[in-house]
Amino acid sequence: MLSKRIIPCLDIKDGRTVKGINFVNIRDAGDPVELASTYAQQGADELVFLDISATNEKRKTFASLVKEIARNINIPFTVGGGINSTADVAPLLEAGADKVSVNSAAVRNPALVDELAKAFGSQCIVAAIDARYVNEQWIVHTHGGKQPSDKELFSWAQECENRGAGEILFTSMDHDGTKNGFATSALASLHEQLTIPVIASGGAGTVKHFLDVFSIGKADAALAASIFHFGEIRIPELKKYLAQHTIPVRI
């Protein structure tokens, strides 16, 4: 049976994991490769690395980091952050990334999704969508959730699928950082509507939230950052809990 995936997300700035990571038994939590290896050993199913470097110059160092990650971990990983064109994607995939995620650039220029899917295959194109619930509508936001766009979550997700995205990464800006649970009803609607997998993001605080996102939200995968980085939830315990509640997980 296909397992539900648990995906830790790491923010990378200038080649280092951003501060605030508090991990037991790790020498250098700022080293993305060491942190990634630790998560892989703990049973993470995939990893996501988001490059939040401010300049293009610093972004170039990201490709060499991607290569080091690929050299050292034996599970799949997605990279994203600042991807605007096929030229941005090629070096990341050549370095060994399995998938790339596009966000703001696709909202600005939806044809980018078609171009990327055609050039590299749908399986490696993740459409990342940040949305906020405003006046009874899920409004897609760009620039890290700061700027509202003219797009609505469900129609935009469907459009991304039609244009060739292989997966949707949906972050609820209303839930992100709250630790009050995922946006399960919006996720369940995406599941009903789409034929490609959906990764849920934003709101993870307890193991019960993961159970809910899979059983009620019907998500194919769940992504979280701080609760893993701070050791509030450990992946082996989380998977054990999910398995006890009959969620298929890889143990």
Partner 1 sequence: MVLIKYNAGNIQSVSFALERLGVDFTISDDPETITKADKVIFPGVGEASTTMAYLRDRKLDEVITNLKQPVLGICLGMQLMCRHSEENNTPCLGIFDQPVKRFIPETDFKVPHMGWNSLTKVNDWIQPDLENKSVYYVHSYYVPVNNFTSAVTPYTVPFSAAMRKDNFYAVQFHPEKSAEAGQMILKNFLAI
**Binding residues for partner 1 (CB under 8 A):** 1-5, 40, 45, 67, 70-71, 74-76, 93-96, 98, 120-124, 166-167, 191-192, 194-198, 218, 220-221, 250
The minimum distance between CB 211 and partner 1, in angstroms, equals 17
The residue (of 146 and 245) whose beta carbon lies closer to partner 1 is 245
Residue 174 or 220: which CB sits closer to partner 1? 220
Q: What value, to the nearest 5°, has the Cα angle with vertex 160 and ends 226 and 50?
A: 25
134 or 251: CB nearest partner 1: 251
Task: Find the catalytic residue in 45, 51, 88, 130.
Answer: 130
**Among this protein's residues, is 174 annotated catalytic?**
no
Least distance CB 148 / partner 1 (angstroms): 29
- Angle, CA 231 vertex, CA 227 and CA 234 arms, to 5°: 90
Q: Which residues, 6+ apart, have CB-to-CB distance to 181 below 8 Å?
A: 175, 203, 204, 205, 206, 208, 209, 212, 213
Asked if 32 contacts 10 with a C-beta cutoff of 8 angstroms, the reply is: yes
Distances (CA, A) of 103 to 108, 127, 229: 9, 6, 24
- Which tokens sit at 82? 């600042």
Q: State the DSSP code for 166.
A: S
Query: Measured from the CB atom, is 55 or 195 closer to partner 1?
Result: 195
| SS3 annotation, 116-131 | HHHHHCHHHEEEEEEE
The token pair that represents 125 in the structure block: 């194109």
Nearer residue to partner 1 within complex by CB, 20 or 121: 121
Structure tokens at 100: 């790339």
CB of 15 to partner 1, least distance (A): 19
Residues with catalytic roles:
11, 130
